[in-house]
Amino acid sequence: MKRNAIILLSIVAMLMASCKSEKKLESYSDIYRERPNVIYVAPLNDLSTRRALRTPEDSLYNISLNIAAQQLFLTATDPLVFNGYYVPGPLASAQIAATEWRTGKQLRNDSIGDLKTDLGIDAVLFITIHGWAFTSNSWTVEVEYVLRSTVKGNEWMHVLVKAKKILPTDFKGNPLPLRDDELFALQYGCDLETAQRCRLVETLNKYVLKDLPGGKRSREHRTERYIRSHPEYFNFVIHPDGSVQMQQTEMFTELTEKDE
């Protein structure tokens, strides 16, 4: 009886969560109406706290965050292209950023219609890192995604996610990196802690941005518009076995573990 009650509560919780997210046709109605083709990824806004340089470990920690931030920015392009959008490459994006006369805040809030008339950009993706946290075997990041139209200036997507990557541990409590983590660290010449952060943000990008409707270059599946979209606030977990899960939350809470 007790087990049946637990299962029933789990089903009810799932149904409640599903009711709070809309179908893509409703969530992304402006995208379906305007059919954008070109998305520009603006320079990353990294608000995470860096450590004062008192020990070599502080410097390594800051470098790790810098590398993860760069990985977050660079890997945002892939899921957009996969979804059928044209995205200016790193060199073109750097040139656009170098000639941009507005501050990041102005670009986020003021009129950006000139990006459409001058460069043919339909929308701008803004990504903000709000903070990092960690334990001995987990890494957590809070990331905000905003996709804004260059024509009307309205937001097509606004998502805030707290994402966590958890590793299994040995009998002493030491983290045990997955095989893919080790291969990533070997390929890019970074330490395993940095590899965890990089793999976390890369997976997060894929999960969040692939939720967008397909662009003009993609072939829309007839059922796509009726699939439920991601909620605006949710937790994202990469479990010790490498599987991923979205955990919807009513309100987005602050990071529970603070940087040491």
219-252 pLDDT, tens digit per residue, is: 776 788 888 999 999 999 999 999 999 986 655 4
- What is the structure's pLDDT at 1? 44
Across residues 164-193, what is the average pLDDT?
A: 93
Across residues 32-54, what is the average pLDDT?
A: 95
Per-residue pLDDT band for 144 (boundaries 50, 70, 90) equals very high
Per-residue pLDDT band for 14 (boundaries 50, 70, 90) equals very low
Tokens linked to 111? 């009129």
Output 118 or 16, whichever has higher pLDDT.
Answer: 118
Asked if 212 and 220 count as a contact pair (C-beta separation under 8 A), the reply is no
**66: Cβ–Cβ under 8 A, 6 or more apart, which residues?**
none
- What is the structure's pLDDT at 258? 43
**46-to-19, 53, 72, 151, 161 alpha-carbon distances in Å:** 33, 19, 10, 26, 15
- What is the structure's pLDDT at 10? 40
- Number of Cβ within 10 Å of residue 75's Cβ equals 18
Question: What domains lie within the chain, and their CATH numbers?
Answer: 23-216 (3.40.50.10610)
**70-to-5, 66, 96, 180, 186 alpha-carbon distances in Å:** 46, 6, 17, 20, 18
Across residues 20-40, what is the average pLDDT?
A: 89
Output the average pLDDT for the chain.
87
pLDDT digits (tens, 9 = 90+) for 77-92: 999 999 999 999 888 9
- What is the structure's pLDDT at 248? 67
- Number of Cβ within 10 Å of residue 69's Cβ equals 21
